[in-house]
């Protein structure tokens, strides 16, 4: 089950910011959903594996991770009226998503409802423990919005129920440090991940959180650091770069000037490993299924940052920050791998060159836990090359299928 051998890879992007490309390797072995070997085609042990992928000289990278979703309890975005948006993101190569607070019509997060917020977080966690959008996407749901009335006993109960994420402080609910800090202490006691946003109020219920507030709260991550989507004056950003050790999330739909200036400042300080990439979707400000793909291109092409490091910001950096066992192509990690290529006609000769030259890249194959789950997704960037699976070219054969009816790959279940 879920065992696959990927060979004939041109370069393997590790997802580790400091490692970059894995030297001397052109194949990956995944057994029972876990990466077991990385090496040369002729040297790894692929015995007993029936699903053989020929990458046709393309690039392998870890599945992308989006750490900023305002999801609901299904593959549906009520603010956008969009159905299937998470499944589409999977076809682009985003294999994991992390909630920043579930929302929808009438949700308790908008009404200062402690019992409702606690119940919603537990329910969302339970739902996404069982439900994977698109059949395979890993949604880490159940982010608790801090509101009046929560007690230490509530955090203990939620932790025992598996809830481990605090939704971005300032994105809804409480943000006053005097009220928030005692709850943050309880959350840390029970192992929660803490996120706090930096932006002026952008939607009803959101609030302005200053750099001083953030330094007092001490979150693990500062969400939409470049603006969500409106940016703050740069003195707040500069102070947090220098005085906080939090992870710094850049979103593709946030302030463009701040996006690039932050990267340039962090590059000077040799701190680009702090950057993670998010979408802040699917709200009225962002409904981009290719958000992480586009952020990677923007990071690399506009800031003279190697493509493999930009990819790490959308994979391994995020996995390290959140403690996930994915995001890197490494023995022992979950077998989430995407095969990417330059688009037809690109000046770049492979996906990495195309990214550095500003061309969006496409995924010719998406693998989650060792299982093929997508190729050339709906409206995804076409790839110049294709993979073959057990000798059969894996591609959409007609323009109608490519544009309107990407199959769900049921045919691969029989390969």
Q: For residue 140, what are the CA distances in angstroms to 73, 128, 315, 358?
A: 11, 7, 15, 31
Question: Count of CB atoms within 10 A of residue 107's CB?
Answer: 19
- Check if 4-62+333-414 and 64-289 are the same fold: no
What CATH number was assigned to the domain covering residues 4-62+333-414? 2.30.40.10
Residue 399, phi then psi, degrees to nearest 5: -65, -35
pLDDT at residue number 285: 63
- The residues near 275 (Cβ < 8 Å, ≥ 6 apart) are 247, 248, 249, 250, 262, 263, 266, 299, 313, 317
Q: Is the model's pLDDT at 237 over the cut of 60?
A: yes
What's the CA angle centered on 36, arms 35 and 37, to 5 degrees?
105
- In this prediction, residues 385-414 reach a mean pLDDT of 68
Q: For residue 184, what are the CA distances in angstroms to 153, 191, 217, 246?
A: 13, 10, 7, 15
Closest CA to 68 of 256, 266, 211, 254: 254
Q: Which alpha helices (DSSP H) does 244-357 contain, by range? A: 256-268, 291-303, 307-313, 316-322, 351-356
Q: Is the model's pLDDT at 412 over the cut of 60?
A: no
pTM: 0.95
pLDDT at residue number 403: 67
pLDDT at residue number 406: 57
Calpha distance 232→112 (Å, rounded): 26
pLDDT tens by residue, 6-48: 999 999 999 999 999 999 999 999 999 999 999 999 999 999 9
> Token pair 């040799």 is at which residue?
270
pLDDT tens by residue, 187-217: 999 999 999 999 787 766 677 788 999 999 9
pLDDT tens by residue, 79-114: 767 777 888 889 899 999 999 999 888 888 888 899
Calpha distance 310→326 (Å, rounded): 17
Q: Is the model's pLDDT at 320 over the cut of 60?
A: yes
Calpha distance 232→241 (Å, rounded): 14
- What average pLDDT does the structure give for the chain? 91
Closest CA to 340 of 25, 83, 94: 94
Domain ranges (residues) in the chain: 4-62+333-414, 64-289
Token pair in block for residue 172: 């809804």
Burial 198-222 (b: 16+ CB within 10 A, else e): bbeebeebbbebbbebbeebebbbb
Which helix or strand (DSSP H or E) is residue 27 part of?
strand 27-31
Among 3.30.460.20, 2.60.120.10, 3.20.20.140, 3.30.450.20, what is the CATH number of 64-289? Answer: 3.20.20.140
Do 280 and 229 contact (CB within 8 A), yes or no? Answer: yes
pLDDT at residue number 402: 66
Do 132 and 160 contact (CB within 8 A), yes or no? Answer: no
- In this prediction, residues 214-234 reach a mean pLDDT of 93
Calpha distance 365→255 (Å, rounded): 32
% residues pLDDT > 90 (the chain)? 72
Q: Is the model's pLDDT at 413 over the cut of 50?
A: no
Bigger pLDDT: 160 vs 112 = 160
């Amino acid at each position: 089950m879920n065992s696959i051998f990927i060979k004939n890879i041109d370069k393997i992007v590790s997802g580790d910011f400091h490692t970059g490309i894995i030297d001397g390797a052109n194949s990956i072995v995944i057994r029972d959903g876990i990466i077991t070997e990385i090496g040369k085609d002729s040297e790894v042990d692929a015995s007993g594996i029936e699903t053989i992928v020929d990458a046709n000289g393309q690039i392998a990278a870890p599945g992308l991770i989006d750490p900023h979703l305002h999801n609901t309890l299904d593959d549906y975005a009520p603010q956008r009226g969009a159905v299937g948006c998470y499944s589409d993101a999977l076809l682009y190569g985003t294999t994991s998503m992390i909630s920043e607070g579930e929302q929808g019509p009438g949700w308790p997060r908008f009404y200062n409802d402690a019992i409702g917020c606690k119940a919603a977080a537990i329910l969302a966690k339970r739902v996404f423990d069982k439900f994977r959008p698109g059949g395979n996407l890993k949604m880490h749901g159940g982010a608790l919005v801090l509101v009046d009335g929560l007690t230490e006993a509530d955090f203990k109960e939620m932790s025992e129920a598996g809830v481990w994420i605090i939704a971005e402080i300032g994105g809804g609910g409480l943000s006053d440090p005097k009220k928030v800090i005692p709850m943050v202490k309880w959350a840390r006691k029970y192992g929660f991940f803490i996120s706090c946003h930096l932006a002026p109020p952008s939607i009803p219920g959101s609030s302005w959180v200053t750099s001083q507030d953030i330094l007092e709260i001490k979150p693990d991550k500062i969400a939409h650091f470049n603006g969500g989507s409106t940016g703050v004056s740069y003195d707040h950003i500069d102070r947090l770069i220098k005085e906080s050790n939090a992870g710094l999330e850049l979103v593709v739909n946030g302030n463009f000037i701040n996006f690039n200036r932050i990267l340039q400042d962090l590059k000077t300080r040799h701190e680009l490993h702090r950057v993670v990439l998010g979408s802040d979707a699917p709200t009225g400000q962002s409904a981009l299924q290719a958000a992480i793909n586009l952020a990677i291109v923007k990071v690399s092409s506009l800031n003279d940052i190697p493509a493999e490091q930009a990819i790490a910001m959308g994979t391994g950096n995020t996995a390290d920050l959140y403690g996930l066992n994915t995001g890197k192509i490494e023995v022992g990690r979950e077998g989430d791998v995407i095969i990417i290529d330059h688009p037809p006609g690109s000046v770049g000769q492979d996906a990495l060159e195309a990214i550095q030259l500003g061309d969006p890249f496409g995924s010719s194959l998406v693998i989650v836990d060792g299982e093929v789950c997508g190729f050339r997704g709906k409206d995804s960037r076409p790839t110049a090359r294709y993979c073959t699976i057990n000798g059969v070219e894996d591609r959409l054969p007609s323009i109608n299928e490519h544009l309107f009816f990407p199959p769900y790959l049921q045919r691969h279940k029989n390969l």
